[in-house]
Chains A and B, each alone.
Chain A
């Protein structure tokens, strides 16, 4: 079962087309293993990216260098998935 320890989901708010363009470039870097939950399209829409642990430093550096604003939407994805599993198990036991 694939695990997602240390994966973070970043919510990025681009403020202009240039930043959208940079995020599109980022999405083409396959070695980073990024999973775009929402795509860079327009400034009006946030861009959510699941970033594997091994790419976090690089992605944050990229965003920082280009002064692109982001927030951490999910701190550790596996924590959330573990919680989801626990809830499913608990519900079954209660049933």
Chain B
């Protein structure tokens, strides 16, 4: 494709194709979009983040990441669609325009690029990073068990061969550390949305403990609004609640960390599948998935805008 209008949003893409998409989007919208490189992956790939900003300094920000688990292809595919949606709708959709007039949006499309590349080249079912674990023949760390909050808890594994291996230490994964460093240096993120697939859920803190977070009532009510908006398009049913109570104890997860960093509106999404395809959601479902998810994201972003803290 020579422009992001030609990009095929209805199909899955390789890492290089997604990277080219990002560069084109920046080139076409230089006043709205820029690309930040927040670090390098374990294998040395750039960790690219799209920044959508209408100007101003020290604006509050909204973080969205997709593709932290490599095999969840629907998430970067949806993220790519979100990116195009933002540039298309800014100035046309009053709600999005109002959000971007106050907030910057940061979108990391391929949070685990080594893993994503590996799913294309070698093993479509790969989930983790590609770290070599000393003393083990098993490769990789689960980047959603590597965050400092609750790190090492029962909802993660110390076994490098496990799919939920927490890694040798908190933030050992450069893919995680880069986001931590970026978030801390930014210092003013107000929402943190991390997108997974595939069990149709919206999860808020905590995952490591059954104890409710201080803002549980508000987060629960907002999840209801967001999931209602999502369902309104194609009838996709979502459940929501704290990670611990809704699925299982998960320790060292993104959402807990972000919340404990002071980012109140902290959610994990689990995008659709209704029991037919799992991680192999057919490409013709990319756009419907992205469209319905966008409605939920908008509800959370608008709420964040309207409820400063």
Q: Which residues of A contact B (CB under 8 A)?
A: 1-2, 4, 9, 11, 30, 35-39, 41, 45-46, 48, 50, 73-74, 77, 80-81, 83-84, 87-88, 91, 95
- On chain B, the residues within 8 Å of A74 by CB distance are 276-278, 280
Docked complex Cα distance between A80 and B276 (Å): 11
B139 contacts the other chain (CB 8 A): no
In the complex where A41-B248, A95-B1 touch, is A80 in contact with B277 (Cβ < 8 A)?
Answer: yes
Docked complex Cα distance between A37 and B121 (Å): 21
The answer to whether A73 touches B280, judged by C-beta atoms less than 8 angstroms apart, is no
Contact-size category for B? 20 to 34
The answer to whether B124 touches A81, judged by C-beta atoms less than 8 angstroms apart, is yes
- On chain A, the residues within 8 Å of B277 by CB distance are 74, 80
Docked complex Cα distance between A95 and B1 (Å): 7
The answer to whether A87 touches B276, judged by C-beta atoms less than 8 angstroms apart, is no
Docked complex Cα distance between A8 and B100 (Å): 45
Docked complex Cα distance between A80 and B8 (Å): 20
- On chain B, the residues within 8 Å of A4 by CB distance are 124-125
Q: Which residues of B contact A (CB under 8 A)?
A: 1, 6, 8, 10-13, 121-125, 161, 163, 198-199, 247-248, 275-280, 282-283
- On chain A, the residues within 8 Å of B11 by CB distance are 87-88, 91
The answer to whether A73 touches B283, judged by C-beta atoms less than 8 angstroms apart, is no
B10, B13, B125, B282 — which one has the most chain A CB atoms within 10 A of its CB?
B125
The answer to whether B248 touches A1, judged by C-beta atoms less than 8 angstroms apart, is no
Closest 10 CB pairs of A and B: A91-B11, A2-B123, A41-B248, A80-B280, A37-B278, A91-B8, A87-B283, A81-B124, A1-B122, A11-B275
